[in-house]
Amino acid sequence: MEVLRIEYETGYMELIVEAFFPCKLPVARKIAPLINWYCSDEVKTELLLELREMAGGYQALCDMYKEKAEELPADLPMKKHWKAQFNKTEILRKRIGRNIDLISGGKTDARKKDA
């Protein structure tokens, strides 16, 4: 699924899935009800499969970055680089997990920080 089309009474909205997701929690809280109200179950299922696939990709990247960082001695600048890459990817992985929760009909804990 490249484009998610949400059609409602007054118009429609098209989202490029890989560019829009993972989105920050406030945005996800606005878009999730629209997806749940106006998209068919088939479209929601396809979107959730795509998001879960993206989450798996982020998890694989996190594992790779962590492994690369652990291989290096603490005093090398490349260790900082791989740790920073891990941190950025971990944020995206958590964010997409929250997106999946909201679109699945669940609620996300408001106390969780979404960077």
> 84 or 107: whose pLDDT is higher?
84
> 19: domain CATH number?
1.20.58
Domain range for 43: 3-103
Q: Do the domain assignments include residue 115?
A: no
pLDDT of residue 106: 73
Q: Do the domain assignments include residue 26?
A: yes
Across-strand partners of 5? 14
- The helix, strand and coil proportions of the chain, stated in percent and rounded to the nearest 5, come to 65, 10, 25
- For the stretch 51-96, pLDDT in tens is 999 999 999 999 999 999 999 998 899 999 999 999 999 999 999 9
* Percentage of residues in the chain having pLDDT higher than 90: 88
Rounded to 5 degrees, φ, ψ at 17 are: -55, -50
Distance CA 31, CA 41 (A): 16
- Please give the sequence-ordered ranges of beta strands (E in DSSP) within 53-96, or none if there are none: none
Q: Do the domain assignments include residue 73?
A: yes
Distance CA 53, CA 23 (A): 16
Number of compact structural domains in the chain: 1
Q: Do the domain assignments include residue 79?
A: yes
Q: Do the domain assignments include residue 11?
A: yes
How far, CA to CA in Å, does 100 sit from each of 14, 23, 24? 18, 11, 12
Query: Model-level pTM?
Result: 0.85
Q: Do the domain assignments include residue 112?
A: no
Q: Do the domain assignments include residue 38?
A: yes
pLDDT (mean) for 9-19: 96
Mean pLDDT estimate for the chain: 92
Q: Do the domain assignments include residue 94?
A: yes
SS3 18: helix
